[in-house]
Each structure stands twice: as structure tokens, then as C-alpha cells.
Chain A
Amino acid sequence: MEDFWIEAIELTQSVIDGLLFGSTYALIGIGFTLIFGAMHKLNMTYAAASIAGAYVGLVVFVFFSAHPLLVFAVSSLASGLIGLLVYLICFRFIPVNNHLAALMATVGALFFIDEVIIHITNASPLAFPALFGAASFDLGAVWIRGDLLFVFAASVASTAALLYVLYRTRLGLATRAVSQQNVAAQLCGIDVHRTNATTFVVAGLLGGIAGAMTAASVGVLSPLLTLPITVKGLIVTVVGGLGSIPGAIIAGLMVGAAENVFLYLRGVNERDIYVLLLLFVFLVFRPNGIFGKSINRD
């Protein structure tokens, strides 16, 4: 009986940690979904751009011993800028109807960014600063890690800021108009190219925060992070439904929690196998995601 309680508590602890860390997956998922909403195309470079942004943040840390908060801010800005470049290179001048060309361009850019990082860092992982790494909150049986709580709080704040821009400002209204009916949006006076570019920058800002958070939670920044974050981002986007922001938030938390439960039950070697199976389960049984609806455009 005592064993059962210990297991239940440890499982609860796993779920709590997973939900907190899952908030970074939610951010990445929102980024994928925002860009999909605007372009109706996947941007496979997104997670790599997020990690690249974190590397730029790390430069500020290593050479100027900047405060971790500033490191996060620089990561975010750098990732936003990279997002703009990705838009210009992989989307802006490629014909709208050529979905495959844009997809391949972003896959190419993903590998390109990875190669650049590997070249510059000699593929060795670098220590990344964390905030509140030593703090923890004791809730009796379970406890909450300070760094994860910070990650969660920052993700919530970023998401809230995004939702504010999207639903309460003129820029957000234009973005939603473009994603729903881009021909009519142009003829309502909206510069579609500029709006799309802005969407990439905004998604990049979120991605940079997520990239820096991931590095802070893991403790190191490594080019090996791009693949798992890309995969998790895609899973979250599929589970949440392409184009759905609430879906991405819920799915991000779900995938974070599920990942930790699999880790607890089956160990670190098998964890990702089950997480990936989630992708196929959803693609087969709920291809439109948990909410079954995406932003549409004719």
C-alpha cells in the first residue's frame, strides 16, 4: 500500500513538471500554428530558428555576462529577426500555390541553421543560464521547481501578450483578416506581404523565448535540441489542430505531461517513441486536432 502512494505521488510530480515544461511546447506550437494560419504552409525552420535565437542570447551572456532576463530578451529578438529572414527567403518570393517549394525551402533552412550552429560551436553543448534554478516550492507531498515555474510564468505572459495583440489591436485584426480571406484582405487595403512578415516576426519572438527556456531548463544549449523541438512542435500543432491557438496551448501542456508520464513509466529510452505515437494516433483518429476546427480560408 505504501508503495502505491509513493508511486502515485511520483507520478503526480511527473505530471506537474511536465505541465510546467509543456508550456514551452505550447509556445512552439503557437508559433507553428500562427504561421500556418497566415500562409497555410508549414514552416519547418521554426524550431531551429528558435534555438538559433537562443544562441544569439548566449553570445550576450558569454561576452557581456548579461543578466539571464536580458539573455532571454535578446534570444527572443534574434529569433524574431531570423523569422523575418526565413519569411523573405522561403516564402515571400516563392509562388503562393507552390506549397512543396516553400516546404522544401524551410526544410533546407532548418538544416542550414543546424549546420551553421554546428560549425560555429564545433557541435559541443554550451552552458545556458537559468533563473531560479535553486528555488523550489514545497507543496507537501509534491514540490514545484523554481526554474520550471519561471518557464511556465514566462510562457503564460508571452501567450497573454500574443493574444492581446491578436484580438485587441489593429495589427491583430489585420492578421486574422489575412489568414481568413487573403484576397479580400488585400482589397480591404491590407498589405498582405507586410502582415505576413509581421506574423513571422511575432512567431519568432515567441519561439526565441521558448528556445531560451528550453536551454535554461536543460541547462545547456546544443544543436541536438533542434530536432526534438521541431518534432514536439509538429506533434503539438497536429494534436491541437493546425491553425488553432487554444488547441496549441492545451496540446502543448498535454504533450509535456504525457512525455513525463511516459518517462516515469517506461524510462528515458522509450519516452519519445510513445510521444511520437501520439502524432499518429491523432493523425488517424482526429486529423483536425482536439478541437477539430482550424482557421479556414478558401
Chain B
Amino acid sequence: MIEISVPRLLAASLTATLVLGVAACGSRPSEKKAAADTSKPMTIGISLPLTGDFSQPGTEARRGYEVWADQINKSGGLLGRQVNLKIVDDASNQDTVVSDYTKLITQDKVDLILGTFSSLLNYPASAVAEKNSMVYVEPAGGAPKMFDRGFKYLFFAQPATAPHQADVFVDWIKSLPADQQPKTAAYPTQDDPFAAPVIESMQKQLEALGVKTVYSATYPADTTNFQSIASQLAAKKPDLIAQGAVFEDGVGLVRSLKQLQYSPKIMFQTSAPSNAGQYSSGIGVENTEGIFYTVSWHQDAKTPRNAEFVADYKAKFQNADPAEDAADAYAAAEVLQAAVTAVGSTDQAKLRDWLHANQVTTILGPLSWTATGEPIGKFLLGQWQSGKAQVVAPADAATSQTVVNPKPDWK
């Protein structure tokens, strides 16, 4: 009964898409690509969340990739070919990231691809790469299930997945004399695929060590009011507060704890404190003293090429400090570079086999992988000291030889 009229628009839009599609008739994806034209630049396709929810890490990752591309092009390129990054925006949207990588691989026929940011986007994106047999080195996406899928082309360019992130902190606690180890601990964590597994695994390990759990709670991602949690923590007075904090919740809890004037002996937060400038301005520089966190990379680490990375990053981006996300992206590119250089071609199957068999040196330290692409390594233990984020463990990567313990009161 509803009025129907001529849908000429339907026809018009269809014609448009058909033209778009017919423009290039390709070949069967599984057919071997013709030998690469070595005179042309080598194109690396990347889709990043440059807008939307993950735009912050996405933008940093872009900078990391760009610094790497500039460096390699200055030094003569990859396999003698100049590198050309084709970076598109996926607006933090799963549908878009799928269509982006499909386009990059099958339409634009890029030679190589690199990963995107956040597990949410890396899950579907890595599936596209796997379907098309492209090596997929992801700079982020350490959710445990990522590596349960038996993918063969997936590699995670960070030292450890979420459940193993806190191992380095537990090791440090173990190294303390018994009377200095915490007796009680509280574990508030955001319901987040990265933060929660870190804290869960830490809680298990510390309980095994005999640390009594006095508080454990998961709060939703949109929690803005931390006073209730803080007042419970203040009432239970744990020696250790270990928070699975993404960012704003980390700042929120510290501020609430401070208002309630409760300062634990040891304070650990997963990733919030690694956002250097924003974190210290959020809680006040003087309050950062002694707060622990884990991190995949540090600006002053003595790893190979790290100093160049930091210097080139600062030169390229108005003297800004590189973020961890940028370093992770840079490391992912390094992994791909090492494989391509060693194999001497962009043959995806060979690249895959080489990466499974070898260790790669990156600015994050040495990386190697299990058969499903899960990394075998450890994170760095960071601590804020005198207004600066330092690495205190493991010893060979440490940038500061002292550890602040116990944490001083809030200022």
C-alpha cells in the first residue's frame, strides 16, 4: 500500500558500483603473482584507525611506520627498492578494516602488509590476511584468543601477550626479601581484553606466593566515578594495589585515592602510566613517584637502532616524544624488513617460514614466535622516578638501577 516510485537512483548507484568493479578484471587470487617489477617501489599496505575510538594509538602507529620508511629509503630501500607506504583510515570500524585490507591485497596488489591497532581490529584484519596468504605482522593485538585460531601468517611484534605481561612484575616481587613482600593486595581492573588478563594472571601468581587478596573487582569501561572503589580500597588498606587500567581509569583511581588520602606501599597499573605526558599531567607529576607499570618499549633502552628511532621521530614530529605505540609499529616494520631481507623476495610463504624459524632483533629487544604467532618474551617493568618513566627490570634493559620502594605518600 505504500507509495512506490521509480527508483532511478537505485539504477544509478548500481551502475556506479558495477563500473567500479569491472574496471579491473583480476586473476584468481591463488595464482602466483608475476615476478615483481624490481624497478617499481615496493608498496606496503596498512589500514590504521586514524579516526574514531582508537585514533590515538592509530596516529602514533602511523608515525612509527613513517619513521621506519624514511630510514629505509635513506639507506637504499628494501631489496634495493624504495618503500612506499599506502596507509588508509579504517575509522576504528571492523567492517572498514576488512574492506581496507581486502582492497589493499586484492585490488591495489600491495607487495607486503603490516598490521593495524587494537585487538578489535586485528582479529578481522588478520583473518583477511590469512585468507589471502599474506604475512601479517601486527604491532598490537595481544588478546590471548588471537593465537588460538591456528593462523600461520600472523606474528605479534611485542614481547609478550596480555597474560604474560605482568610476569616481570611478579619476578620483581619474588626477588624482594620476604619481609618486604606485600602481605595483602587489591586488584581492581577495567573490563578490557588487555587489562583484565594481566591482572587476573598476576593475581593467580601472587596468590601462589602467599599474597592475600583483600579486594578484587572488574569495573565497566565507562566507569567515571572511582570514589567508591577508592573508599573501599582505603578501608581495606592493602599493601599492593594492582589496577588493570587502560588510561583514564588509571588517572581516575589515583585521583580518588589521593582525595581519600590512602597511599599503598606498592602501586601497579597496567598501561595508563606509559602515556607519559598525559598521565603525569592527569595526576600531577609529583604523585607519579614510585608507580609501577609494564611496557613493551622505553625511549632510553639500549636496544639496537632505538636511539636512531627516537632521534628521527623527534626530528620528524616537532621534537615530540615517541609513544610506545609508535615504537611497536616501528618494531613490526623491522620484523617484516628482517624477513624480506633474509629471504630476498616478497614470497609470502617463505617469509612466514623464515619468521617461524628465526629470531629478529628490534628496538623492543629480540622477538621470536610460537607456531601460532604468539611471541616468546617478557615485557619491561617500568617505574616513575623523579617525574620520569624509567625501566627497572629486567636488569639488562634497565635505565635506572634503583627501585623506589615503598612508594612515598601522595603529595
State whether these chains interact.
no
